Amino acid sequence: MSEKLIGRIEEKSLLLDTLASTEAELVAVFGRRRVGKTFLVRNAFNSQIVFECTGIHDASLKKQLENFNNTLRAAGYPVHEKRPSDWLEAFQILIGFLKTINGKKRKVLFFDEFPWLHTHRSGFVQAFGHFWNTWASRQENLVVVICGSAASWMIRHVVNDRGGLHNRVTRKIRLLPFTLAESETYFRSRGIILDKYQLLQLYMVMGGIPQYLKEVRKGESSAQAIDRICFTRDGFLHDEFRNLYSSLFETAGKHIEIIRALANKSSGLTRNEIIDSCRLTSGGSASLLLGELEQSGFISLSVPFGKTRKETMYRLTDEYSHFYIKYMEHGKSQGTGSWIKLSRESSWKSWSGYAFESICIKHIRQLKKALEIGAVYTEVSNWSHKPVKEDKGAQIDLIIDRQDMCINICEVKFSTGEFIIDKKYFSELENKLTVFGAQSKTKKTLFLTMISTYGVKNNEYKSRIVQNEVTMHSLFVH
């Protein structure tokens, strides 16, 4: 039985719309490695795909053309043993093949790992643009899907191309990782039943990457799965980090330097701080690197409350990358029991807090729904104020600034049981509200909102300061 497609309702609907279209369609699908792009395309089009060619990573022009030729032969077209001399000739041969397919049924061409086909000085993109502009775009029953993991390359050379593909893409899909709810549904479809805390632990390590989650086995705990997948020599994620970035970026060294710098600063870094830390030039190269990492889904940026875009903060939001740098890269722990041992160390508290906070920010729609403000326009940010003389400093994890004259001041706390607000922490919370109100000069009502795994224990301090409460269960809503 073929594997069921989980979620991706809007994306599949968009692809199916191309089959109902009466015009030629050029669809660009992009998203990070192992997020499920190929599976989505194959599931949506199934038998309509008449030709599928996948680029080979780091292969020469010669090898790519041989692969193209072999793919046509496998599709039943009597091509010559000798490979095409260049991509212009290859696309002419493809046109000949497509003309042999009779009937008015929509035909789908699928070019997977499209950026890998464009080797140095190969002229592939130019030849593909010529193929689309002079022939394919005139075929009313043709759908061409181009797919790539190098999201930044796809955006630069396809979606925003200034050459032959300028404004030629008719539809585009940026495929994102699963949400927590989709991850839970995916596990259930595979017969894996885990409670919310166990699922959250897996997500904090692997994110919502289907190919990573697929490695979890039925009947094992999150700790057992993390041990086997991450800390054994043959574990699927043991060496994924180096392969991940080298497959997406031609020269991945500087990209990885930025990732490392952000992994060591949970509150994030400004552009200038990244430039200084990674010894980058302040010109276009820094912008290009940061743009590529953002478009590929590894980092996110936000403007702190009350600040300008010049003070934008960058954060590492790829769960696996952060976990790898924190625990796997230089860790001595290997094999059974590694993660349980590591999770007892003091560093676990700071890592789990950062990972949970990052997940909450990604699930802001679910948080708003839990707070019953889903229909209210909001802006999400964080905020910090450094102490000056007698003035106390303060930092706020998450701010939900609402158009209805209210602001949710959110405290995100990851714990293994009910979180307890004691006298000391109560004073810290009071200080945050006081300092934020004074520094921001806001006239909006401030609601102290606690976001935690198992909720906040009822006591006098909670009743005096907490206005809203959200637990991890609310993050698992579709």
Residue 408 in tokens: 């949710």
CA angle (23 as vertex; 19, 29 as ends), nearest 5: 60
Quick one: tokens of 288? 């290009």
292-318 pLDDT tens trace: 999 899 999 999 999 998 899 999 999
Do 172 and 132 meet the contact criterion of CB atoms below 8 Å apart?
no
Q: Can you spell out the DSSP letters for 36-92?
A: SHHHHHHHHHGGGEEEEEE--TT--HHHHHHHHHHHHHHTT----SSPPSSHHHHHH
With a CB cutoff of 8 Å and minimum separation 6, the contacts of 312 are: 270, 271, 301, 302, 303
What is the CB neighbour count within 10 angstroms for residue 457?
A: 14
So what's the pLDDT on residue 427?
96
* pLDDT reported for residue 1: 41
Amino acid (one-letter) located at 321: S
Strand residues in 103-163 grouped as ranges (E) = 107-112, 142-148
Distance in angstroms (rounded) separating the CA atoms of residues 73 and 78: 6
pLDDT, averaged per 10 consecutive residues of the chain (478 residues), comes to 83 96 96 94 94 95 96 88 92 95 90 95 95 96 95 89 90 96 97 97 97 97 95 93 89 94 93 92 83 92 92 95 93 78 89 96 97 97 87 90 98 96 97 95 97 98 98 97
Average pLDDT, the chain: 93
DSSP string for 357-372:
HHHHHHTHHHHHHHTT
Res 2: pLDDT: 61
What pLDDT sits at residue 333?
A: 67
Q: What is the pTM of this model?
A: 0.93
User: Please, what are the domains in the chain?
Assistant: 9-174 (3.40.50.300), 180-238+331-355 (no CATH), 241-326 (1.10.10.10), 363-476 (3.40.1350.10)
The per-residue pLDDT for range 185-221, each reduced to its tens digit, is: 999 999 999 999 999 999 999 999 999 999 999 999 9
